[in-house]
Structure 1
Amino acid sequence: MIINLRVDHKVANIETIETTAKDLEIIFNKIKKDLDIKEYVEINTCNRVEYYINTDIVSYENDCFRTENENIIIHYDDMAIIHLFRMTSGLESMIIGEDQILGQIKSAKKRSIDENHCGKILNTLFTKAIHVGQVVRQKTYINRGSVSIGSAAVDLAEENIGDLKGKHVLVIGAGKMGKLVAKALAEKDLKAIFVANRTYYRAVRLADELNGKAILLDELSQCLPTADVIISATGAPHTILNKEKIEDFIDSKKASSIIMIDIANPRDIDEDVLDLGVKLFNIDDLRGIADENKKLRENEAKEAERIIESEFNLLKNSFKLMEVEDLLADIRLSMENIRTKEALKATSKLSNVEGSAKIIDNMSKSIVNKIFHDMSLNIKKVAEEEDHDVIKTLESIFK
């Protein structure tokens, strides 16, 4: 059974995602402990937290899955798989068709493999899901001219402050999201841009691409007084900016003209900065831009859905065949053991005949191959037809 536990932007705002993520982690840890789960993948982005689990020892009614948090979504098997395919295709993103989610899921899979939590089933599922995401982008225009969360943040800034030409911009965070922001800012005729990061060399590398200046996080006071727009996208577990940290560097007149956009999860900027007159926005405020983007891509999304359905059916068939792979391996091993023993007996009886050992070995291999070929085809057919009674009977016979 494949299980998906999640909270995302479709059912919750950024604050609710943050709080629900804690409940979700508690449920996941309980499931992992109580059901001795070994195979799982965790996905954590700016607007979703998800767990994919594979287990064969749980039913839909298991008490582990009972929760009073209405923001937690639990999907099983087909629905869980379809959701993953839609996610890698960019259909579940706030900004439809964005490419970053594909890289995030690749990273989640790799992390699970590195930590020995990604077994045969989830490895097959996630490999297929990544393939689906790539096919959708190759065969449709779902990501043509696609805006990312980063570029949407820049659009939001322009909606509220006007043209960014001649403005001072501070980007906090030089990770993947910060790079997306920088990519969008590179097209603007800025007066100055600062990139702040906890790791200095990353800030330098990104700032060089933008002809800007790199600073460390604890040096923010250098550019706060002149900043017109501040976009923050770090992976920090706590806030980077709050009222106390900036009120000594920004006077009230300047504060009322500053745009702060927080696209981190958990959030980087405390809401108490609003007391200073700052205009503060977060991921939830990007929904308007996301809705416009969705309308532009409706036809591409329909084509993506058709691709997802086709690939889903192929995966389902693969899973059916995987169910009997161990059985086929057992049958083949059993037949090979019998063949080897009988070939040795025959060879010993014909020890005086030149080349008898090779002749008998080749003949017996040929017989086994022909018998196993037909048997294998029939068993695979049974698997595809989902005749579990026959499979169980075969398992009891050959195991």
Structure 2
Amino acid sequence: MELNQLNMPLLEKLFSASITFREVPTEKLGELGRSVMEMLGVAPYFPIPLYVLHTCNRVEVYAWDVPQPIVHAVLSRYGGYADRVVVRRGTEAALHLLEVAAGLDSMLIGETDILGQMEEAFDSQVKSHVTRDLLKVVVERAIRFGKMVRTNTNISRGPRGLGSLSIIYVKETMGDLSNLSIGIIGAGSVGQGLAKELKDEGARRIYILNRTFEKAKEIAERIGATAMPLNRESIDECLKKCDVVFATATSFEPIIKEVPPNHKVRLIVDLGVPMNVSNNLPVKVVRLDDLKPIADRYNSERLQEIQKVKAMALEEVENIERALARRAVEIELGEYMRLVALISQEEGRRAGANASLAANSAAKRAVLPLIEALKKHAESGNIETVMQILNDAKRLMKIPQASTS
């Protein structure tokens, strides 16, 4: 079935605004990311849920049931590049998010870094109550889909992310990793993946720098590396000790602004979000664009998997609509059950204190079969009818007045 043939009344409320390495140079994405990420500071007070995804290759905003003034507010965050933002709605936005999670929209098709970055953003924004309600269901399902695709297809066969490509670049440029001292700045999902892969590829001397020293220590102990705090002094020390330094931190200001006069470092790989390394340093700095020729080599091997993943994504869009229908009914039923509890408590009070608990239990038992039936009807595509039934039932329900005695 074609996308435009699908009837998805709930997913039609999904909105996305996206700008990627295809629309603007990667160094500009960092500037845009700063502006868009500032929305998270006020997002808990927004009337709508948001999910913001900022990586080295994209700056995207997903929102639910968006009024036009909010659309303008979101697009204004992209500043002078607002005319390059790709706006999607409904099933098109859902399909795009699924393809992002599957790695189809990445520089390296099928890369896995994006999945870790999506999970980190999701966990943080759910905790701060930014990503919530039905939007939470959509993002959660997309992350689950990304994992399923990589298990059931060969879309990620070979190098697994930009970290893998950068390791290939270093090996092709500088030779055997076992002869090199290597530093990693940042212990997020990209930094952790790099550390493990470097160890597996034969690196013997690895230094891990992170703002949270305990996290750096935990990873270092796991792979036999050396943990260091992340500050100006330790960065200088790393540049003096290491032949190669990978910068993978999330920081809106460059972390490596200069190199000390007696530095040992010969190559710095910048995988940060946004760029971690200043321009015009006296050593070679590898940017994302430098990795594209290597990505293209492996992308050609993965082309045959793309159509398979796209077909799976189209099917998953329908699954998401069903999950949304179930969740929407659950939310509405929560309010309905609150009203049932009020009535049962009042009836129990009238019958005597000992009868209150029994009345509440009996009411729930009587309503539960109806609840499950309504959820199944919603999942079958009858969400609008089910919601109308619930609204009618609440309107007809006689709510007891609070006792004045």
Query: What TM-score bracket applies, with the shorter chain setting the length?
Result: 0.7 to 0.9
In structure 1, how many angstroms separate the alpha carbons of the residues matched to 2:235 and 2:70? 52
Contiguous gaps of at least 5 residues in structure 2: 1-12, 347-358, 398-405
Question: Aligned runs of 1:1-399 on 2, under 5 Å?
Answer: 1-25=13-37, 28=39, 36-55=46-65, 58-59=67-68, 63-64=72-73, 67=76, 68-69=80-81, 70-190=83-203, 192-216=205-229, 217=231, 218-225=233-240, 227-243=242-258, 245-246=259-260, 248-250=261-263, 258-273=266-281, 276=282, 278-320=283-325, 380=378, 384=382
> Shift of residue 390 of structure 1?
8.1
Q: Is the 8 A contact 1:221 1:249 kept in 2?
A: no
Match of 2:402 in 1: none
Question: Which deviates more from structure 2 when the two are superposed, residues 129-138 or residues 159-168?
Answer: 159-168
Closer/same/farther in 2, CA of residues 279 and 301 from structure 1, 3 Å limit: same
Q: Is the 8 A contact 1:149 1:180 kept in 2?
A: no
User: Over alpha carbons, which structure has the higher Rg?
Assistant: 1
Aligned pairs, number: 370
Q: Is the 8 A contact 2:102 2:149 kept in 1?
A: yes
In structure 1, how many angstroms separate the alpha carbons of the residues matched to 2:147 and 2:342? 44
> Shift of residue 190 of structure 1?
4.3
Percent of pairs with identical residues: 22
> Shift of residue 393 of structure 1?
10
Q: Secondary structure at the match of 2:272?
A: coil
Q: Secondary structure at the match of 1:297?
A: helix
In structure 2, how many angstroms separate the alpha carbons of the residues matched to 1:117 and 1:19? 22
In structure 2, how many angstroms separate the alpha carbons of the residues matched to 1:338 and 1:249? 78
Contiguous gaps of at least 5 residues in structure 1: 342-360
Q: Is the 8 A contact 1:20 1:71 kept in 2?
A: no
Q: CA RMSD in A?
A: 4.3
> Shift of residue 189 of structure 1?
4.1
Q: Give the alignment's TM-score, normalised by structure 1.
A: 0.74
Q: Is the 8 A contact 2:30 2:252 kept in 1?
A: no
Could you tell me which amino acid in structure 1 is paired with residue 268 of structure 2?
A: M
In structure 2, how many angstroms separate the alpha carbons of the residues matched to 1:241 and 1:61? 37
Closer/same/farther in 2, CA of residues 185 and 375 from structure 1, 3 Å limit: closer
In structure 2, how many angstroms separate the alpha carbons of the residues matched to 1:88 and 1:75? 16
> Shift of residue 179 of structure 1?
1.9
Q: Secondary structure at the match of 2:177?
A: coil
Q: Is the 8 A contact 1:97 1:146 kept in 2?
A: no
Write the deviation string for residues 318-371 of structure 1: whole angstroms up to 9, x where unpaired.
Answer: 445666667778899999999999xxxxxxxxxxxxxxxxxxx9xx99xx98x9
Q: Is the 8 A contact 2:325 2:375 kept in 1?
A: no
Q: Secondary structure at the match of 1:16?
A: helix
